[in-house]
Amino acid sequence: MKYSAFKLETGATIRLSRIVLGTGGFYTQKDTDNSFEILDEYLRLRGNCIDTARQYGCSEHIIGEWLKSRNCRNKVSILTKGGHPSLTEPSKSRLSEPDLRADLEESLKNLSTDFVELYALHRDDEDIPVSEIMPTLHLFVKEGKVGAIGTSNWSVERIAAANEYARQHQLTEFSFNSPGFSLAECNRPRWPGCVMADQSMIDWHTTSGKPLFAWSPQASGFFSGKYSPDQTRNQEMVDVYYSDDNWRRYYRACKLAEKLNVSTIQVALAYVCNQPFPSFAIVGARTKQQVQQAVQASEIGLDDQAQRWLTSKITH
């Protein structure tokens, strides 16, 4: 497992595994047994960062139960997220101080902890000024409940504006970002309100050095071999990922995988983990074998030439 250093607002530096275990699939208590197996395997392989959110059903509850049963809170860092619109009112943002505080307190309770290392806003509402958001997040840090704040599905422009406001008012800045990002580029966001990392965002991370935690780094299985240009039964996959450029990337990943004696999807994960800035792949594994394959992928080194070749539009 490869790791990258991450500095918390407390001044402490933690080492985070480049493969982050995504738990969006831990949605009901019926998933508990399999979820525990996956969490156990991830910990056995020295993975130490778990991604969750208030929006992910029973995910936080299951993680909290696992942390207590294994007595391993000191071995993992937690990234959770709040501020997502409710299922009953999907068009109403929840970025007010009362909503954000309610989300955080509920997350801490469910996770059986009084502190999370990383806390991100799950959605944005550009009609709400950053001046109404940043003071609340700053309080979370000063109260010792959050180690660092970040964004998920925010634009670069909003992140920059929020950090500029924070600097001007001596508040905590966003120190990480979690967009959708993979070797395959999306034709459109998979879900409403999602933000995919485009070239301007990648350039911003490269210049700023801010860590990127990529959700959907495997492009929803696009590189698994289950899909082909003439297999169009999954309309969502067709709408989101099918394009000439992405098929070109897929076939190149296949060639590189054969050369390296790994799977194509491992090459796709390696692409995310070998960016010129701290990059982490949030992997929603459903089996222990998928956890193992993801960890192996994090150890694949791809140089700049290989990275450029995978994404080049040149046909040869």
Phi, psi of 230 (to 5 degrees): -95, 5
Token pair for 194: 């999602």
Predicted structure pTM score: 0.97
Token pair for 22: 């995504």
CA-to-CA separations, 51 to 115, 134, 233, in angstroms, rounded: 14, 22, 31
What's the pLDDT score for residue 27?
84
Would you say residue 316 has pLDDT above 60? no
**23-60, pLDDT tens digit by residue?**
999 988 888 999 999 999 999 999 999 999 999 999 99
What's the pLDDT score for residue 28?
85
Q: Hey, how many other C-beta atoms are within 10 angstroms of the C-beta on 303? A: 9
Contact by Cβ (8 Å): 64, 102: no
What's the pLDDT score for residue 313?
80
Residues 6+ apart with CB under 8 A from 226: none
Phi, psi of 76 (to 5 degrees): -135, 155
**99-126, pLDDT tens digit by residue?**
999 999 999 999 999 999 999 999 999 9
Contact by Cβ (8 Å): 20, 280: yes
Average pLDDT value over all residues in the chain: 96
Distance CA 187, CA 220 (A): 13
Per-residue pLDDT band for 274 (boundaries 50, 70, 90) equals: very high
Exposed e or buried b for every residue in 263-302, given b needs 16+ CB within 10 A?
bbbbbbbbbbbbbeebbbbbbbbeebebbebbbbbbebeb
What's the pLDDT score for residue 315?
66
For 224-239, what is the mean pLDDT?
96
Which residue's structure tokens are 């391993």? 72
The pLDDT > 90 percentage for the chain reads 94
Phi, psi of 16 (to 5 degrees): -110, 135
Per-residue pLDDT band for 87 (boundaries 50, 70, 90) equals: confident
Sign, Cα dihedral of 272, 278, 282, 287: positive
Per-residue pLDDT band for 244 (boundaries 50, 70, 90) equals: very high
Per-residue pLDDT band for 66 (boundaries 50, 70, 90) equals: very high
What's the pLDDT score for residue 31?
81
Distance CA 297, CA 22 (A): 16
In the 8-state DSSP scheme, what is residue 4? E
CA-to-CA separations, 248 to 26, 191, 237, 245, 251, in angstroms, rounded: 33, 24, 16, 5, 5
Which residue's structure tokens are 């539009």? 313
Would you say residue 74 has pLDDT above 80? yes
**153-192, pLDDT tens digit by residue?**
999 999 999 999 999 999 999 999 999 999 999 999 988 8
For the chain, the structural domain boundaries read 3-311
Q: Which CATH superfamily is domain 3-311 in?
A: NADP-dependent oxidoreductase domain (3.20.20.100)
Distance CA 47, CA 237 (A): 29
Token pair for 247: 């098929």
